[in-house]
Amino acid sequence: MKGALLCRKRPCRICRRWFMPNAKVKERQMTCGDAECQREWHRRKCKEWNKNNAEYFRANYLQKKLDTASESIKASKSAQPESGSALFKKCPMNIGLPLEVVQEVISPQQIVIIEYFGQLLIRRFQEVLRRKLIVNTSKVSQLLPTSFSRGDGH
């Protein structure tokens, strides 16, 4: 009797059409057999997973950059002494400091971490500015009268 209850018809989570779930999948099947519904369900679940696991990608990104920096150090030690500056020339944040001085004081791994924190700060600052812009535009719409005229008769 319990198996019969699990395999009852149910609505597709995407198109809302009723379907009979596959007997092997049972309660885990959320969409009908339509390919578009399955793609949309997969897209939604991936979006949800990415939102819940954003830290996973941040850690991977930083680790890749650190690995690249350490590889460039090894390559620079085995090659010419000037080739170590290639990492700093690729740096997307143009800090305007003399590269030779920075290379003597800070290792490439430290530069990668500083650059990463700089990008995080910029992203957070932009988010705050966007929120402020939304708040300000709602206040402006409250200040304007409902019968606002341009002054040219229209």
Q: How far is CA 56 from CA 23, 50, 53, 76, 135, in A?
A: 35, 9, 5, 30, 32
Q: How far apart are CA 112 and CA 117, in angstroms?
A: 9
Q: Regarding beta strands 18-19 and 10-11, do their DSSP bridges make them parallel or antiparallel, or are they unpaired? A: antiparallel
Question: In this predicted model, which residue has the larger pLDDT, 63 or 37?
Answer: 37
pLDDT tens figures, 116-151: 888 889 988 888 888 877 766 666 666 555 555 556
Range with the poorest average pLDDT among 45-49, 56-60, 72-76? 72-76
CA angle 43, 44, 49 (to 5 degrees): 100
pLDDT tens figures, 66-112: 888 878 777 766 655 444 445 445 555 566 667 667 777 887 788 78
Q: Is the pLDDT of residue 3 over 60?
A: no
CA neighbor of 32 nearest in space, from 49, 53, 48, 18: 18
Q: Sign (positive/negative) of CA torsion 8, 9, 10, 12?
A: positive
